[in-house]
Structure 1
Amino acid sequence: MAQPAYVQGTLDTLLSADGSVEPAALSLADTTFVVLDLETTGGAADGAGITEIGAVKVRGGAELGVFATLVNPGERLPPFITVLTGITEAMLAPAPPIESVLPSLLEFLRGAVLVAHNAPYDVGFLKAACARHGYPWPNPRVLDTAAVARRALTRDEVPNRKLGTLAQFFHATVQPTHRALDDARATVDVLHGLIERLGSYRVHTLGDAIEFAKAVTPTQRRQRHLADGLPHSPGVYVFRAADDRALYVGTSKDIATRVRSYFTASEKRARISEMLGAATRVEAVECAHSLEAEVRELRLIAAHSPPYNRRSKYPDRVVWLKLTTEAYPRLSVVRTLADDDAAYLGPFSSRRTAELAAAGVYDAVPLRQCGHKLSVRTPTPACALAELGRCPAPCQHKITPEDYATTAALPFRDAIHGDPSQVVDALMDRIEGLSDKRRYEEAAVLRSRLIALLRATVRMQRLSALTKLSEIVAARRDTIGGWEISVVRHGRLAAAATSPPREHPRPTLDAVRLTAEKVLPGPGPVPAATAEETERILAWLERPDTRLVETSGDWVSPVRGAARFTALLNRAEAAASGKDSSVRSSVTDRSDDARSLRL
């Protein structure tokens, strides 16, 4: 096919495009493509070396425009390139340089999807040229016909995925000749042939086609129909097996988009691949807003324990540190809260963490560590700790119940319900003493106990402040001008709704309060919900754009509570994680942490 020496600009006009970027959800038939091919000097993509550009703009099978030009590469043309393409240095001498061509080419690309055969090669040259000459790369969506062919065609159909082979297979009207415009026109026919083939794979949109070109597994390709018909709204999705068992529960602001992502190349988790193979359908639970979706996800995971969920599966598998109500109280690790006068600290996710916090308490206050039930009348034999002077020996009645309560039990109660400074200061003094003696490993052990104790105390006081309130009504603006409304009772999400935009939210708020779940108070810092649910609610309530509409009482935390040690806790955790390896500088230096917090 004869070609002009160079033609800068379009040879035909764009018929009906508005220049806007097409969304990934647009059907392939309605997508505007610019099919492009470059000829180069064969060197590296360093911003030069382009000798010819050919591009064809198409939509719905119709040709909308053409861009074709030779380009002066500003360097010698290797002889083998002349033999391969027929382009000579004499042809390139009067051609414009790439910096003169780029503005027109970028305009031609605007709002379209860039298609090329072995697209990374062509895109790499164009991006390098833009970077070298100061033009911003528009970062269009890119579809690689070679990659699509690798997924859509079998070896029995075509021996390789070269452009010439594919052009023959699809009976292209133009055969590639190593000239840019001919190769671009051949790629157009290959693209149309591939689009027809993609229909058998349930690939009908641009986003699906781009993902199809990536390295997805056969299972993902076979099961991608599970994402059909899901809503584009916030909520929870449940992958279910043939017997209707819940396999996996997740949440998203856009259910359809999130579920589709499981069938893309970005999903590489082995357990999810196994789950997709067993799934037969996806159930969607639409929610009023993202907080309701998060809470429903937690409740569904707790109710069904899906085998492929790793987090939040067993919310009841928590433990508590209980200070018993005996004459000489002691710490006990328990799994349930009783409605009694005992002091509880928690919840802890494991017994090991609870015992670590208990060890921190024993390091700070003289609580007895034995598990015996002591009598105030009959003494019992003393243990080794009493003989070593590390226990006040209530078993031998060497301390009265009143003095024991004041020196041992009261500091623990104060730590969990109010001011933990007595416990924290005692631990910090011991850590400092060990560090001064260069006994850093022992200091690190105490640091881990301090972290476990302080983390649990801060968490429990935050939870208790919210769960004491019988009701909080809060709202925040959504992205379209409406209001997300939440009714929280004793730390549990009792109701959720979204008021329409440009309407007063009060009628919606009143209606949702009338239908809200009745929640009764109970023992402990999380009487009506799991700690994780209440923490999700706390995070939503504490967002800067959330407004408290009504509360049943004052939402307050202790003035000298554990929260004032947050900076110390953060530094200790950083040291323990290795971000700050110095025990002394990260934990024991209280000049701006513990000592200042005592003031």
Structure 2
Amino acid sequence: MTTAPVRSRWEEQRSFDELGRPLRDVTFCVVDLETTGGSPGDGDMITEIGAVKVRGGEVLGEFQTLVNPHTSIPAFIAVLTGITNGMVVDAPPITSALPSFLEFARGSVLVAHNAGFDVGFLRHFAREQEIPWPDFEVVDTVKLARRVVTKDESPNHKLSSLARVFRSGTTPNHRALADARATVDVLHGCMERLGSLGVHTLEELQTYSSKVAAAQRRKRHLADRLPHAPGVYLFCDERSRVLYIGTSKDLRKRVRSYFTASETRSRIGEMVQIATSVTGIECATPLEAEVRELRLIAEHKPSYNRRSRYPEKVTFIKLTREPWPRLSMVKKVLDDDADYLGPFSSRGSAESCLAALHETFPIRQCNDKFGRQPSRASCVLAELGRCLSPCDGSVDADTYAAVVRQLRDALLRHPDDVVELVNEKMTALADQERFEEAGVQRDRLASFVRAAARTQRLTSLTRCPEVIATRREEDGRWSVHVVRHGRLAAAGIIPSGADARDYVDQLRASAETVVPSVGPIPAATAEESEKVLRWLELPGIRLVEVEGEWTCPVRGAGRPWPPSPTPALSLGP
């Protein structure tokens, strides 16, 4: 675990992303289109392109051209825009007009009123012409206006309404250049209002939300000392209490987003206002960051994290080791040679799974303890045929043991007996139009299959004393992880030019020593082992070393369901 080094605020050259690009230095290309309809996918075409290039409040140039759509312009469009078929007959086609516009707009930030419409049309025809779409950043004046123009000022955010609010020198008239000129005035009006709220850069303009308090935005400096690296970040209050923990592939960029992006979650906004510092823990790989996040949340239990705070609050289903075994729900795994299914994150899902097992296997459900020769009265379940009733001698030990073996096999290897029986009950209930009862059976079956698959997958990994794997990451470097009994023991990146075998040996030697306990998750939380499993199952994984047998049952619960061609049951209309 390494903490980002403390540096002077101006010790290093900061990137444009960190400093922000002042709005006065940004070149905007404000564009508007006229079209024959609302969707290029439906065959609608562009009939006119108008654009104005501005920077620092000054107009740098204008672009305007009619476009021959090579189709008839609908009458109501001609009335609305004033563009007729006769006006476009000698105009250039879109194959000529679009490259000219893209050259005019090159290097600028695109602006449009309802940008999704205009940019959507332009991108569509660029794809049709196989023209690479420039990596334009886009600003939508509709979205800006919604943040700064109240309903008292304007009943809506149409261009014509906003042009009146901002006293535009051009009246929108559904012609491309005139509407683009009006949009320029709306853009400048919105920027002027946002400037008084502390929005002075393009990044702040794009991400501004009125729901993000000014005090929240003023705390951007808390991210200045964090590295551009994967890791974990911890928001703390003035008493150094941890408020919130998160993870990111880029610590500085992610933490900055809490102060400049549209972070509108009320709880997180409240947290940021309380926070006085952010600590970054740099990690070698994203997987290490995810695992450290889980461990830190479990340790600090920060009040603003909703998930993973109480990994100890889980439930298992236990098949006891007694003369007459039974199933019970327990909170802990003991070293008692019993079989365990789980963990379940909620007691409700454990109860649902337990019900599915009791529906299938008629072992006793009472909590009584008795020896090999019990002599008691039978219970109601025995009278209903749902229990073999060992208590009154109705079943011999061998028969009962055979049923228990089937149950153990369903838990650990082959769930087919449970699946087939519950499916039969679901189908019968559905045929009788008892859909609610069929739904209960479906939920019970789902709980069992999920739990069995989870236990089998976890056990397959956690019983391996060591697994070492490597993978080429997105940046081209090779990450290496050492996993011991399902716990991440070490993580690293092979340095450029280093001997890979030597590096893996060194990482292995320095890895955490893991002493396992008992049960399906003997050395880590289920959530950590599952994150490790997901990484190990990614494409491109190369296993360097596997100590033990990492295998899953061929007919286990993790295989695709349903296992037969039986169609899925539809519960009700």
Q: Same fold (TM over 0.5)?
A: yes
Matched with 1:546 is: 541
Find the partner of 1:418 among 392, 413, 419: 413
Aligned counterparts of 2:414 and 2:34: Cα–Cα separation in 1:
73
Task: For residue 295 of structure 1, report the CA deviation from its aligned partner.
Answer: 0.9
What amino acid maps onto 2:479 in structure 1? E
Pick closer, same or farther for the CA change 1:236–1:393 going to 2, 3 Å: same
Establish whether residue 55 from structure 1 lines up as the match of residue 52 from structure 2.
yes
Aligned counterparts of 1:561 and 1:188: Cα–Cα separation in 2:
63
Residues 223, 255 of structure 2: 8 Å contact kept: no
Summarize deviations over 1:312-337 as a string: whole Å, max 9, x none.
22111111111222221221111011
Task: For residue 302 of structure 1, report the CA deviation from its aligned partner.
Answer: 1.4
Establish whether residue 27 from structure 1 lines up as the match of residue 21 from structure 2.
yes
Task: For residue 30 of structure 1, report the CA deviation from its aligned partner.
Answer: 9.6
RMSD: 4.7
Summarize deviations over 1:319-373 as a string: whole Å, max 9, x none.
1111222221221111011111112111111222222222222111121011111
Matched with 1:372 is: 368
Matched with 1:17 is: none
Aligned counterparts of 1:183 and 1:581: Cα–Cα separation in 2:
53
Structure 2 stretches lacking a partner, 5+ long:
1-15, 152-156
Find the partner of 2:337 among 338, 341, 345: 341
What amino acid maps onto 1:270 in structure 2? S
Pick closer, same or farther for the CA change 1:164–1:227 going to 2, 3 Å: farther
Aligned counterparts of 2:178 and 2:435: Cα–Cα separation in 1:
73
Pick closer, same or farther for the CA change 1:39–1:492 going to 2, 3 Å: closer
Matched with 1:329 is: 325
What amino acid maps onto 1:474 in structure 2? A
Deviation larger for 454-463 or 229-238: 229-238
TM-score (norm 2): 0.76
Task: For residue 261 of structure 1, report the CA deviation from its aligned partner.
Answer: 3.6
Task: For residue 73 of structure 1, report the CA deviation from its aligned partner.
Answer: 9.6
**2:483 aligns to what SS in structure 1?**
strand
Aligned counterparts of 1:295 and 1:583: Cα–Cα separation in 2:
42
Aligned counterparts of 2:379 and 2:261: Cα–Cα separation in 1:
63
What amino acid maps onto 2:310 in structure 1? Y
Within 5 A, what are the aligned runs for 1:210-289?
A: 210-212=206-208, 214-218=209-213, 222-223=217-218, 225=220, 228-229=223-224, 230-263=226-259, 266-289=262-285
Deviation larger for 94-103 or 520-529: 94-103
Pick closer, same or farther for the CA change 1:25–1:554 going to 2, 3 Å: farther
Aligned counterparts of 2:383 and 2:38: Cα–Cα separation in 1:
80
Residues 439, 571 of structure 2: 8 Å contact kept: no
Pick closer, same or farther for the CA change 1:202–1:505 going to 2, 3 Å: farther
Find the partner of 2:570 among 566, 570, 581: 581
**1:563 aligns to what SS in structure 2?**
coil
Residues 435, 571 of structure 2: 8 Å contact kept: no
Which structure has the bigger radius of gyration?
1
Aligned counterparts of 1:350 and 1:80: Cα–Cα separation in 2:
60
Pick closer, same or farther for the CA change 1:80–1:23 going to 2, 3 Å: same
Task: For residue 301 of structure 1, report the CA deviation from its aligned partner.
Answer: 1.6
**1:288 aligns to what SS in structure 2?**
coil
Which structure has more relative contact order (CA 8 Å, sep 6+)? It is 2
Matched with 2:442 is: 447
What amino acid maps onto 2:519 in structure 1? G
Pick closer, same or farther for the CA change 1:392–1:165 going to 2, 3 Å: closer
**2:359 aligns to what SS in structure 1?**
helix
Aligned counterparts of 1:293 and 1:130: Cα–Cα separation in 2:
37
Within 5 A, what are the aligned runs for 1:328-477?
A: 328-377=324-373, 379-404=375-400, 406-431=401-426, 441-477=436-472
Aligned counterparts of 2:494 and 2:287: Cα–Cα separation in 1:
15
| Identity fraction in percent | 43
Aligned counterparts of 1:356 and 1:126: Cα–Cα separation in 2:
51
**1:557 aligns to what SS in structure 2?**
coil
What amino acid maps onto 1:411 in structure 2? Q
Within 5 A, what are the aligned runs for 1:82-101?
A: 99=94, 101=97
Residues 201, 221 of structure 1: 8 Å contact kept: no
Matched with 1:140 is: 136
Residues 36, 114 of structure 1: 8 Å contact kept: yes
Aligned counterparts of 1:568 and 1:44: Cα–Cα separation in 2:
44
Residues 146, 162 of structure 1: 8 Å contact kept: no
Task: For residue 468 of structure 1, report the CA deviation from its aligned partner.
Answer: 0.6
Aligned counterparts of 1:200 and 1:503: Cα–Cα separation in 2:
54
What amino acid maps onto 2:102 in structure 1? L
**1:416 aligns to what SS in structure 2?**
helix
Matched with 1:314 is: 310
**1:568 aligns to what SS in structure 2?**
coil
Matched with 1:523 is: 518
Residues 98, 129 of structure 1: 8 Å contact kept: no
Residues 465, 484 of structure 2: 8 Å contact kept: yes
Aligned counterparts of 1:547 and 1:323: Cα–Cα separation in 2:
37
Pick closer, same or farther for the CA change 1:151–1:359 going to 2, 3 Å: closer
What amino acid maps onto 2:296 in structure 1? L
Matched with 1:303 is: 299
Task: For residue 227 of structure 1, report the CA deviation from its aligned partner.
Answer: 5.7
Task: For residue 96 of structure 1, report the CA deviation from its aligned partner.
Answer: 5.7
Aligned counterparts of 2:106 and 2:361: Cα–Cα separation in 1:
71
Matched with 1:567 is: 561
What amino acid maps onto 1:34 in structure 2? F
Residues 368, 391 of structure 1: 8 Å contact kept: yes
